[in-house]
Structure 1
Amino acid sequence: MDGELTVTAAGPHGSAFSGRVGWGSSPAVVVIDLCRAYTEPDGPFALPDPGPAVAAAGALVDAARSAGHPVLWTAVRYAPGLADGGLFVRKVPALACFAADAPGEWGRLTLTPAPGEPVVVKQYASGFFGTTLGPTLLGLGVDTVVLAGVSTSGCVRATAMDALNCGFRPQVVRQGCADRTPALHGNNLADLDAKYADVVDQAEALERLQRLA
């Protein structure tokens, strides 16, 4: 039922996973790091087939706008010289493409935010860590975050986990995310659905956004 948590009882040998957090009454679409570095063929994080995820994210954004729901975006940005990159940029050296003085404009978003739609700048995987995303969502009265973007195993996963930690209902849209390989994408969706979020199909997400208008 909408607005309620569903808990699946499990005996000592039964499955303890895959309950549903469900939808609240006030959703927002959050598009995570969908930028040229992932969607351009020669990008540092180029995906094998980003087109379907870009199209699905665009459809979710259009549906949210039409229904009057907030749309928010996250983007990775670092200071020149990566002074604010910490250990993350040492672990993933290709993140240097998001420094302010890096060539290529790889951090430019693939889809265009509308005027007034917040673009939350971050330095780490989660859209919530060290950012204004949580307070912004609370200020907008949001209780459900509809997540799309890249990559499924990285920033989408981290953001979904922290959404749950912060008391938001994470709905990860299967077709709206993408990763380096289909196996990474599928395995991480399965694990997210088991423990941290509801993984939903695009059709369900679009219907819910319209219904909650």
Structure 2
Amino acid sequence: MRDLHDDARGAGYGRPLGAGQRPAVLVIDICAAYLDDASPLRAPVEDAVRATITVVDHARANGHPVLFTRVTYRPGTSEGGLFRRKVPSLAVFEQGNPLADFLPEPAPQPGETVVSKQYPSAFHGTALAANLTADGIDTLIITGLTTSGCVRATATDAMQHGFRPMVVGQACGDRDPRLHEANLFDLDSKYADVISLDAALRLLP
């Protein structure tokens, strides 16, 4: 059986995109739902959260934009449509549920953008692309949860909207390391550059 990386490179996948001139950090859905033992979405993502805090602190210290996303649904509505039907545990993101709250860190500071969304991608049904374009941002340094879900969907849509997605592997997490690694491999092959924590910090001088 051929090595996966050799096979991908041999087929022409995995050419680096490289970063552009103006990066921003995009923190995907880091909230209590993934760290509270009472939550159906609990996942072993503590290391990813700590790495994200490092990226966010570094970006702020050097004057780079930091944006956050959150999933939110009004109780009693059909918001989320088939996504909520497919994953009933998304009910934890109904407004008023403390599991939907941001953590103490990382959390948005006054003046930082918060994108409220109802589907996996931070671009779907939101003004994110227009706002990034207006701010001259061409590169997204992506962190957050989960790798196989909203991180993957957002990174793929970023590329499709003309933004350079740089996914920080150590700053993303999932329910199982096999899901995490498989999706990082596929993202790096086709849709994004998967970079290390150190590389992310170097992109935020």
Q: Do Structure 1 and Structure 2 share a fold, with TM-score over 0.5?
A: yes
Residue type at the aligned position of 1:107? A
- Aligned counterparts, 1:14-163, within 5 A: 14-48=10-44, 50-101=45-96, 103=97, 105-110=98-103, 111-163=106-158
CA distance in 1, matches of 2:60, 2:180: 27
* CA spacing shift, 1:14–1:175, aligned 2, 3 Å: closer
Q: Deviations over 1:159-186 (max 9, x none)?
A: 0000000000000001000001000000
Tell me what 2:4 maps to: none
1:70 maps to a residue whose letter is P
Instruction: Give TM-score scaled by structure 1 length.
Output: 0.89
In the aligned structure 1, how far is the partner of 2:39 from the partner of 2:23?
32
> Does the CA-based 8 Å contact 1:174-1:201 persist in structure 2?
yes
Q: CA deviation at 1:205?
A: 0.5
TM-superposition CA deviations, 1:80-102 (whole Å, max 9, x none) = 1142121110000000111125x
- SS of the aligned residue for 2:180 comes to helix
Shift of residue 39, structure 1, vs aligned partner: 1.8
| Structure 1 residues without counterparts, runs of 5 or longer | 1-12
| Aligned equivalents of 1:86, 1:47: Cα separation in 2 | 24
> Equivalent residues in 2 for 1:185-200 (5 A)?
185-200=180-195
Q: Cα offset for 1:14?
A: 3.4
> Paired residue for 1:183?
178
Q: Provide the alpha-carbon RMSD of the alignment.
A: 1.2
Structure 1 contact 82–96 (Cα < 8 Å) conserved: no
Gaps of 5+ in 2: 1-8
Letter in 1 for 2:108: P
Secondary structure, counterpart of 1:131 in structure 2: coil
Which amino acid in the other structure matches residue 38 of structure 1? Y
Contact 1:146/1:171 (<8 A) preserved:
yes
Deviations 1:107-131 (A, max 9, x none): 1112221110011000000000001
Give the counterpart letter for 1:41 in structure 2. Answer: D
Q: Which one-letter code corresponds to 2:60 in the other structure?
A: R
Q: Distance in 2 between the 1:137 and 1:44 partners?
A: 33
State the TM-score, normalizing by the size of structure 2.
0.92
Q: State how far apart, in whole Å, the 1-side matches of 2:60 and 2:42 are.
A: 28
> Deviations along 1:60-94, whole A, 9 cap, x unmatched?
11111111111000000001114212111000000
Aligned-pair CA distance for 1:36: 0.4
Q: Which amino acid aligns with 2:37?
A: P
Aligned residues: 195
